[in-house]
Amino acid sequence: MKNTLIAPSVLSADFANLQRDIEMINNSDADWFHIDIMDGVFVPNISFGMPVLEAITRHAKKTIDVHLMIVNPDQYIKTFAALGATNLTVHYEACTHLHRTLQAIKAEGMKAGIAINPHTNVALLEDVIKDTDVVCMMSVNPGFGGQSFIENTYSKIKQLKEIIVKHNAPTLIEVDGGVNDKNAKLLVEAGADVLVAGNFVFKSDNPTQTIADLKKLTSF
Ligand SMILES: O=C(CO)[C@H](O)[C@H](O)COP(=O)(O)O
């Protein structure tokens, strides 16, 4: 039985009612809180920073999956560890010494993740895959929620899964961007382990039910 992990993206939450939305996730079938940190440099958007993350982790009762869409992520590893991040994911495209960055994340007691943009070939991860706990595969261009899913993601997942199996790596495949009820099962069949969903969850009439439906749809 495949137990797919569901990670609602807080980026799409109602920030005027953030505690309400955090409690919704706490009480739902979701597995992770997906936290999108954007600096306005690596991506053309600024989301939120440490004060908001501190407020989230004060109330969140599930895995805190932090996705850094920032330049110079090495500068902030200790900060996010202190704020309670469970997973810390950096962008391949933002790291000069990626292997060292992964080691630094683990040294702070966090799971180490690598995110790749739609244009980045998964083969570039082969030499660090055994050191990687999560690969966050962007299925939209990073920076905004509510974008359309990029279709070649399926083949990238299959290619990445082959690399993970070849190296007997502990790596989870997380898909981030444009996930919905139309592509979720196909993504899991291609090899995805974790599905990030922002707008599909938070813009629905009943986010709790939407999460439950996604979980049921992808656990088979
Ligand atoms: O990383 C992100 C944007 O850069 C978001 O997590 C991603 O887009 C999820 O939002 P949605 O499900 O609405 O696409």
| Nearest of 150, 156, 172, 149 to residue 5 by alpha carbon | 172
Selecting among 39, 131, 176, 193, the annotated active-site residue is 176
Closest ligand 1 atom to 144 CA = 3
Burial 125-158 (b: 16+ CB within 10 A, else e): bbebbebbbbbbbbbbebbbbeeebbeebbebbe
| Atom nearest to 69 CA in ligand 1 | 4
Residue 191 is labelled as binding a ligand: no
CA of 64 to the centre of ligand 1 (A): 16
145 is in an annotated binding site: yes
Q: Tell me: the pLDDT tens digits for 41-95?
A: 999 999 999 999 999 999 999 999 999 999 999 999 999 999 999 999 999 999 9
**Are the C-beta atoms of 171 and 129 separated by less than 8 Å?**
yes
pLDDT in tens, 139-148: 999 999 999 9
Residue 61: count other Cβ atoms within 10 Å of its Cβ: 10
Tokens standing for residue 60: 């969140």
Of 213, 195, 193, the closest CA to residue 204 belongs to: 213
pTM (two decimals): 0.98
C-alpha torsion angle, residues 80, 39, 9, 154 (rounded to 10): -110
User: Residues with Cβ within 6 A of ligand 1?
Assistant: 9, 11-12, 34, 36, 67, 69, 140, 142-147, 176-179, 196-200
Active site residue 176: yes
Closest residue (by CA) to atom 4 of ligand 1?
Answer: 142
How many domains is the chain partitioned into structurally? 1
At 181 the three-state DSSP class reads: coil
84 is in an annotated binding site: no
The secondary structure of residue 148, as a DSSP letter, is P
Which pLDDT tens digit goes with each residue over 16-48? 999 999 999 999 999 999 999 999 999 999 999
Residue nearest to ligand 1 atom 1, measured at CA: 142
Which positions ≥6 away from 161 have C-beta within 8 Å?
173, 190, 191
| Domain extent at residue 152 | 5-217
Domain at 194, CATH number = 3.20.20.70
